[in-house]
Amino acid sequence: MKARYMRTWKILVWAVASLGGLGASWVATSQTEGWLEPRATYAEGRTRPAELPMPPSNFQRLIVKFKTPTATRFAADSTRDHIRALNVPGGVQVLGQKAVALDYLKSVSEQTHVLHIDQALNREEVTALAHQLAQDANVEYAEVDERVLPHFAPNDPEYGTSQWAWQSSATHAGATNTSAAWNRFTAGSQPVSGSGVVVAVLDSGYVTHADLGANILPGYDFISLDTLPYAPFSTANDGDGRDANAADPGNWNTDTRNNCKTSNSSWHGSRVASVVGAIGNNTTGMVGVAYGAKVLPVRVLGVCGGYLSDIAAGMRWAAGLSVAGTPINSNPAKVLNLSLGSEGTCPSTFQDAINDVRAAGSLVVVSTGNEGATDSITQPANCKGVLAVTAHAQNGGSPSFANVGPGTTISGPGVSILGTSNSGTNGPTASPTGDSYVAGSGTSFSAPMVSGVAALLLQIKPTMGVDELTSRLVDSARAFPSGTYCAGKPACGAGMLDADAASALVLADAAPTTSASASSTDPVARGAVVTLTGNATAGATGGGSISNVRWTQMAGPTVTLTGANSLSASFTTPSTSDTTGITFQFQATASNSLSSSSRVSITMVSAPNPVSSTGGGGGGGALHWIELVALAGIALVSRWMQRGVPTPHQ
């Protein structure tokens, strides 16, 4: 389907060459081939491999978010006034009298739109232009529509073709114990496999493969048509723009302009998707972490990566939100996997999309990048509200390519990870002839390991929200092995992914939930009757029914409980005691033998002080024992002083 370009208008915008320091840094993610040695425990960082792609040297797209919606139907005509309002009489004065024209290109959301610049600008110029546009009272922000690349580099097959990462941690310290999780059962007696859960893979699309096809849902292609004159190469590479065909046509490149490296097709999207959901129990090839789940391919990466604006739109669509000119997704994903990124701080466009996706109830899992950084991770992994995944090797050590730093949430296996691929070097070779398997390394493959486990947990408890799901993954993580680089380092996240421990933690939700309260408010009078009330509800996932309850006193002066084995118990506060606090525990046990408890505490008023039967007139009482000790001490000091003060020997 050919992209329909909206009506174009032009505005003169003047740019200057003297305003600097406004550009955000950008660099493509690293390749990991030949750079897989474990990071030394004493290493503070590594130099980058010489083959790293260079930043793009020119830019022709800007993202602008207006403070109010520009159109109810995302029409270009209703955005015209907003675009015109960005200009001022005589033009916007920036860097050295360079006149450029802006065209409306596409919409990201109701308030966010992409503008095309009719000529290439360097980083300084385009960032200065964005800065100037952002000063307009109607604009919330303006930023460069950056290129984003997959976090990926393939390795030769000898790096490993077995699925060590799925196996027991007793065999491989860095393994995820996924095979053990598969032997657990949900409350409905179904094996844990991710069944019923949709995971979106925002990547290069999907290439047909016999070991993956049955688990692929109809997806969408969000790569906008960018043939000349809009770009020095065509990112889409399929002859059209956005459409309902998420097939990967290949992302090979022979054009070295704009610092883009030549390469064969990577089939990155299919490789990532198969880690999540390759078919299981079919006696063929590999098995995905969540082999019972469905994978929703969302194509956002093409030749030399993809654009921030396309990725943000794809995220919204994947979560079931509306996107201009695109039908609503009928299979909203509860987990979004993004094995991609670029350097720099989190762009506002990404953060807006993440906020919207989280609000819709979907978890965003992002790889941290492959530059070997020890103090930073790439964006969008460094955005708020995402689950950022770094990589570890079979022995639990941190490979030298894996980025770690503030914002890293957890680590997943990322060395020699098997995935489905295709034998075509340019376009795909038809299945099954072209079907192949390749082992690769990078945080690109760590992220789908986590996304797959998230799908397992959502099958067990479909009602989990984003925060609870994240908490289960983090709380169940295993510590990094002693002596490895990440041991004891918060920059590496909570620890190593453990599918079985996470599943066990969610299955424990079958335990009953309890609460406890007291009838009297603090402080409680002495000699008062207090009623304790407990509530118990069977667990949401296979919790059975409540079989027994019990009240137990945990602290404070001993009292007699009436009705200790019922929901309601009572006691009388003691008339005298030095302690004013009393604590009780209410415990409920379900028919599945799981139990939980809650505590309640009360504070009593202080007991009245006893009145002394001795003491002089004038209201004086008996001396306190501390006072008596003090008087005795004074008497001893007085007697010692009467004997003389010793002097130093001469």
Catalytic residue among 113, 151, 172, 268: 268
pLDDT in tens, 470-508: 999 999 999 999 999 999 999 999 999 999 999 998 987
Residue 191 CA to residue 187 CA, distance in Å, equals: 10
Whether pLDDT at 390 is above 80: yes
Residue 324 CA to residue 313 CA, distance in Å, equals: 9
> Among 125-139, 414-428, 554-568, 599-613, whose mean pLDDT is lowest?
599-613
Structure confidence at residue 97 (pLDDT): 60
> Among 47-56, 235-244, 542-551, 620-629, whose mean pLDDT is lowest?
47-56
Catalytic residue among 136, 203, 226, 435: 203
Mean pLDDT computed over 265-285: 92
pLDDT in tens, 171-186: 898 889 898 899 888 7
Catalytic residue among 109, 342, 444, 570: 444
Residue 627, exposed/middle/buried by CB under 10 A (0-12, 13-18, 19+)? exposed
Whether pLDDT at 646 is above 80: no
Residue 352 CA to residue 21 CA, distance in Å, equals: 25
Domains present along the chain, CATH in parentheses: 12-38+55-146 (no CATH), 153-507 (3.40.50.200), 513-603 (2.60.40.10)
pTM score of the predicted model: 0.68
> Among 90-104, 146-160, 169-183, 586-600, whose mean pLDDT is lowest?
146-160
Looking at every residue in the chain, the average pLDDT score rounds to 79
pLDDT in tens, 441-463: 999 999 999 999 999 999 999 98
Residue 324 CA to residue 257 CA, distance in Å, equals: 31
Structure confidence at residue 236 (pLDDT): 83
Task: Respond yes or no: is residue 203 known to be catalytic.
Answer: yes
pLDDT-derived band at 187 (thresholds 50, 70, 90) equals low
| Tokens representing residue 163 in the block | 């699925």
Structure confidence at residue 82 (pLDDT): 62
Structure confidence at residue 450 (pLDDT): 98
Task: Respond yes or no: is residue 591 known to be catalytic.
Answer: no
Task: Respond yes or no: is residue 593 known to be catalytic.
Answer: no
Mean pLDDT computed over 97-112: 80
- DSSP, res 461: -
Residue 635, exposed/middle/buried by CB under 10 A (0-12, 13-18, 19+)? exposed
